Amino acid sequence: MTLPRTDLGAAGAPALVLLHAFPVNRHLWDGVAGTLADSGWRVIAPDLPGFGEAAPAVQPPDVAVAAATVFAMLDGLGVKEFSLGGLSMGGYVAMAVLRQQPDRVRSLFLVDTKMAADTEPARENRLAIADRALAEHSTEFLVDAMLPNLLGPVTLASRPHVVHQVSEWIRGTSAEGVAWAMRAMAARPDSSATLAGYPGPALVVGGTDDRLSPPDEQEQMAATLPMGQLELVPDVGHLSAIEDPQAVAAAMLGHPEMGPHA
Ligand code: MLT
């Protein structure tokens, strides 16, 4: 499968692959990607299977399948080594990438994500949402259900363009894409050992107002990564990269050890 993607910066520059959250698409990274490309990265941000312009996966739901599509894209582009960033679901896929070919990942950005597997109630809730999306042939119900958790209170009150954009992205996501990803996330394993075994530079970025992956979980992930560092971005919730892209880009660029490695 060829993943549609944003590809910014010089072709020969160090590659940074950015993976988006659920249930949105690669444009989540638009406000961050230009700044990172201006700072020396080649930023590659794909739509994951079933989101944005990407066709749904045909294989059974599994974050490992999404990771394999990322490798297929990178192999097609001739990119061997890369830095890797994932926001929330993108982070789960990034952890699956690390399980498959860790030696290709030069540095790791985990943004608003979690290393723990789902609790049983969370898993059941995901499977119910997957069934409902398919039964209704719609993702409309997810707008009201998810927005108060995806966006922080400052964004909900004072960044109406972000509220509008995220709502439109959710509406534009297919029921099939939502169902596949929900089932894949429900089945994902605990990733603590994966992170504990990753020897490279790693930065955890979290929003101070994130209710889905709160700051204490971000601290635990940074402590689990052997070279983990932590940056908390004020006044943003779970989708920090669109809530305050400049602050997220500044956090990512504030650690020279993360690259770009000229
Ligand atoms: C996301 O933002 O990708 C989702 O909140 C991830 C999840 O449902 O765990």
pLDDT bin (cut points 50, 70, 90) of residue 208 is: very high
| 184 CA distance to ligand 1 middle (Å) | 11
**Whole-model pTM above 0.75?**
yes
Whole-angstrom Cα distance, residue 140 to residue 178? 11
Nearest CA to 83 among 66, 63, 98? Answer: 98
Confidence at residue 2, expressed as pLDDT on a 0 to 100 scale: 81
| 262 CA distance to ligand 1 middle (Å) | 33
pLDDT at 1 over 90: no
Which DSSP letter does residue 207 get? Answer: E
Beta carbons of 237 and 207 less than 8 angstroms apart: yes
CA distances from 144 to 2, 43, 58, 170 (A): 32, 32, 29, 10
Helices marked H in 51-137 — which ranges? 63-77, 89-100, 120-136
pLDDT at 261 over 90: no
Which DSSP letter does residue 42 get? Answer: E
Residue 238 neighbours by CB distance under 10 Å: 25
Mean pLDDT across the chain: 97
Task: Quote the percentage of the chain above a pLDDT of 90.
Answer: 98
| 112 CA distance to ligand 1 middle (Å) | 9
Confidence at residue 262, expressed as pLDDT on a 0 to 100 scale: 42
pLDDT at 260 over 90: no
Q: Mind listing the pLDDT tens digit for each residue in 40-84? A: 999 999 999 999 999 999 999 999 999 999 999 999 999 999 999
Whether the CB of 21 sits within 6 Å of ligand 1: yes
Q: Residue range 120-130: average pLDDT?
A: 98
Q: Given ligand 1 and candidates 89, 93, 123, which is best to mutate, with the most ligand atoms within 8 Å of its CB?
A: 89
Beta strands in the chain (DSSP E): 5-8, 15-19, 42-46, 82-87, 105-111, 202-207, 228-233
Confidence at residue 162, expressed as pLDDT on a 0 to 100 scale: 98
pLDDT at 13 over 80: yes
Q: Mind listing the pLDDT tens digit for each residue in 163-192? A: 999 999 999 999 999 999 999 999 999 999
| 188 CA distance to ligand 1 middle (Å) | 12
Whether the CB of 238 sits within 6 Å of ligand 1: yes
Nearest CA to 241 among 40, 90, 108? Answer: 90
Whether the CB of 166 sits within 6 Å of ligand 1: no
| 66 CA distance to ligand 1 middle (Å) | 15
Looking at this protein, which amino acid is placed at residue 59? Q
Whether the CB of 89 sits within 6 Å of ligand 1: yes
Q: Mind listing the pLDDT tens digit for each residue in 219-255? A: 999 999 999 999 999 999 999 999 999 999 999 999 9
Cβ-proximal residues to 112 (8 Å cutoff; 6+ apart), any chain: 21, 87, 88, 91, 205, 206, 207, 210, 212, 213, 218, 238, 239, 240
Confidence at residue 40, expressed as pLDDT on a 0 to 100 scale: 95
| 54 CA distance to ligand 1 middle (Å) | 18
Whole-angstrom Cα distance, residue 210 to residue 128? 24
For helices 30-38 and 245-253, the axis angle rounded to 10 degrees is 40
Whose alpha carbon is nearest atom 7 of ligand 1?
A: 89
- Sign of the dihedral defined by the CA atoms of residues 87, 19, 241, 150, in that order: negative
Whose alpha carbon is nearest atom 4 of ligand 1?
A: 22
